Structure 1
């Protein structure tokens, strides 16, 4: 991005290291341009511009409620859901010239950040208690990631605005209902062994969440232990035949209300999977796909793919989902059946699946189901996360 267009709701100032360089008026479109390694700012359509340094800040002048609209922001680059749109941001905007364009960092307080994150990560139609649970785990996740993981340390900011951290869209995605849930849980975080946790979450577990230790490379975190997402009287399958019946039916779990996510079906042509797998792993003609191991939740933990020229064993959750579908499978909770042709070679694979996402931590659809049955957000959190406590941070 070599040109930025912005509008401010209030008077604003441009500063560098606390020194004011210039001031701007509200409601006027300003254009920031990078040309021949020179940065300039001026009112859109005007020839009068001011030269700026390679890094500077834009912030409202003496008004904490001020916000900025940045025109044509590119977001989620490299992901299927990438795009360009106008976005409105609170707080301060840090602008840095990098790689022949501008990098924008939005500096704001945690609670304001969550006002956008919560409705970006959970639909506002969900019950209030489920949204409160989402607010607590989004706050905990953000603090843990910013303080301990620091994935963007080398880039000079704490968190990105995509699913890599949490989806953040600015003011335009704030809703009164979710803002209230953030306010009513202000400062509340989940602790395990006295430390802020990294409470993972996903859309739908399909009936039973996974333990982090059951996913290759995810580590063994005791608070991320799998749980049956249903009242205790609902039986969970303990044999292959029972699991097949489970995943092909709709057992009465907390997360069973959402049809497309709770249970799904894919019919996969063998020739398509053969071609897809051979792009990276030379197995030759696809002969057989076998589930070697399941986790206690029923999720596939290991798959063997046999071909005429080689055999491939897949153990990583995201690789299983990526390789065994037309697009990525919604989850690893599936039962697979093979139809063979007259020569005894696979013709199609029928995949009966359940859930959407990695299945670790809070099942969002399940949280919604629990809230509808009268559970409060604290009960929801202690259902999905084991041996945790809630603490209210003061700031």
Structure 2
């Protein structure tokens, strides 16, 4: 099996500005293209150089020297550090329409893609073993998504990621949202920022693990990762579709696992979140954190345990704005169901106008932050009640992200302690095997 090609959604806008460096050919017209260019949405088609097209595909004549640039790419979408930057890409550029916008898609070899992904997720100061581990899980995740999409298309599977009733709204967010490309370039899938962030150490890690994937029971593992599990990992089915993956199990993020605490029990979860138990990811070592956190990530200072404060006015306006539902004055936030890491799967919001249970974890995080709450593993304290209405809400939480699979900060600590990439992978993905796919 040769190296697969992946289609990565980079930017969706009514107007796209881009530039070609080196020799490119427009496969739609069979003409060579050079320099700066611009495409616009018009009458359901792509307007480019005075003509209308259903799609445009630009391919490099020489992969080794040619690249293209896309202007004003949005990174960190809906996060507190969202911003725009110009990005450069190897491979081909495909432009299609979606609604009233154009979509820029990078067609790129998996291994080149991975070099950028890991450079976007990790620092050049990361240990080689950590980078190799991340190369394997990023490759595994990507190929598993492509494989799953093909299966769903072949079997004509209907995928619904939302269950809505009068009493509850349960929704999850996964890459099945994408139909025009395999994966997007933002945190929704994996951060991919083209040639903008690449380094030699990451290239070495990708080369050393070329084609290696995690496999379980003959299938590529849907290998997930997050910044910090908070000390205990979460189950896949508690964050996404109700499917169990045995290799994405609950585990204590320590070398010698002691007796597991059942954090699905509310009293246990509260005690766990209010304390700071020993874990690989419980670290403030700047050298280790610099390996995992890029500059914009380092704007987040507390992640293993954190606190967020809201006034009554702030939380009521926030929840209404983020959910699109007018709850009125927020009276209570009540845990209904927790997962294995203490993350809330279902949360009851009681307002003066509306009561509703929401989930899963990302839906909860989106409702309680202008971007995304660090995680859904939190407890709520209320203060200063006036006529039964709390005037202050304090959320005390644990971890950063969904907590499923590899814990990036925990893995960085393991790498610093001398664990091999195989050790790291088999710590977080129990029962999986390392296999060379191509």
Same fold (TM > 0.5): yes
Three-state SS of the structure 1 residue aligned to 2:281 is coil
Q: Relative to structure 1, is the Cα distance of residues 73 and 194 closer, same or farther in structure 2, using a 3 angstrom cutoff?
A: same
1:68 offset after TM fit, Å?
1.8
Quote the Cα distance in structure 2 between the aligned partners of 1:83 and 1:277.
24
**Corresponding residue for residue 307 of structure 2:** 265
Distance 1:113 1:313, change over 3 A: same
**Aligned-partner Cα distance in 1 for 2:138–2:213:** 9
Q: Aligned in 2, Cα 1:67/1:260: closer, same or farther, shift over 3 Å?
A: farther
Instruction: Map 1:210-289 onto structure 2 (within 5 A).
Output: 210-215=234-239, 217-232=241-256, 237=261, 243-258=269-284, 260-278=302-320, 280-289=324-333
Residue 221 of structure 2 corresponds to: 197
Q: Give TM-score scaled by structure 2 length.
A: 0.75
Quote the residue 1:72 is aligned against.
71
**Structure 2 gap segments, 5+ residues each:** 1-13, 151-175, 285-300
Q: Is the 8 A contact 1:69 1:86 kept in 2?
A: no
Cα distance change on mapping 1:240 and 1:15 into 2, 3 Å: closer
Higher relative contact order (CA 8 A, sep 6+): 2
Q: What CA distance in whole angstroms lies between the structure 1 residues aligned with 2:63 and 2:250?
A: 43
Question: How big is the shift at 1:90?
Answer: 1.3
How far apart, CA to CA, are the structure 1 residues paired with 2:416 and 2:68? 37
Query: In 2, are the aligned partners of 1:205 and 1:363 still within 8 Å (CA)?
Result: yes
1:103-125 CA-to-partner distances (Å, cap 9, x unmatched) read 43322211111110111123333
Verify the 8 A CA contact 2:78 2:371 in the aligned structure 1: no
Selected match of 2:191 from 145, 148, 167 = 167
Shift of 1:393: 1.6
Whether the 8 Å CA contact 2:235–2:250 is kept in 1: the answer is yes
Post-superposition offset of 1:262 = 0.9
1:39 aligns with 2:48: yes
Quickly say closer, same or farther: Cα 1:275–1:98, change in 2 above 3 A.
closer
Q: CA deviation at 1:154?
A: 4.6
Closer, same or farther: CA 218–170 of 1 in aligned 2, 3 Å: same
Q: Write out per-residue CA displacement over residues 205-260 of structure 1, whole angstroms, 9 at most, x where no aligned residue.
A: 11101112334744222121111111336565557666444323332210011461
* Mapped contact 1:16–1:55 kept (Cα < 8 A): no
Please identify, of 74-83 and 196-205, the stretch whose mean Cα deviation from structure 2 is larger. Answer: 74-83
In structure 1, stretches of 5+ residues that fail to align are 42-50
| Cα distance in 2, alignment partners of residues 152 and 244 from structure 1 | 34
Contact in 2 for aligned 1:304/1:314 (Cα 8 Å): yes
Contact 1:210/1:226 (<8 A) preserved:
yes
Q: What corresponds to 1:16 in structure 2?
A: 27
User: Which stretch shifts more, 343-352 or 375-384?
Assistant: 343-352
Q: Which has the larger radius of gyration?
A: 1
CA drift at 1:60: 3.7
Shift of 1:389: 0.8
1:110 is matched with 110
Check conservation: 1:2, 1:100, Cα contact below 8 A.
no
Partner of 1:46: none
1:166–1:343 distance in 2 versus 1, CA, 3 Å: same
| 1:132-151 pair list within 5 angstroms | 132-149=132-149, 151=176
For residues 269 and 236 of structure 1, do their structure 2 counterparts lie closer, same or farther at Cα, with a shift above 3 Å needed? farther
**2:292 is matched with which residue?**
none
Describe the shift of the 1:104–1:303 C-alpha distance in structure 2 as closer, same or farther (beyond 3 A). Answer: closer
Aligned residue pair count: 376
Provide the C-alpha distance between the structure 2 equivalents of 1:158 and 1:237, rounded to a whole number of angstroms: 38
The separation in 2 between residues aligned to 1:147 and 1:122, in whole angstroms, is 26
Tell me by how many angstroms 1:308 deviates: 3.9
Which residue of 2 is the match for residue 351 of structure 1?
395
Q: Are the aligned partners of 1:268 and 1:325 in contact in 2 as well (CA < 8 Å)?
A: no
- What's the CA shift for 1:330? 0.7
Structure 1 position 6 matched with structure 2 position 50: no
CA distance in 1, matches of 2:371, 2:107: 36
* Contact kept? 1:263, 1:355, Cα under 8 Å: yes
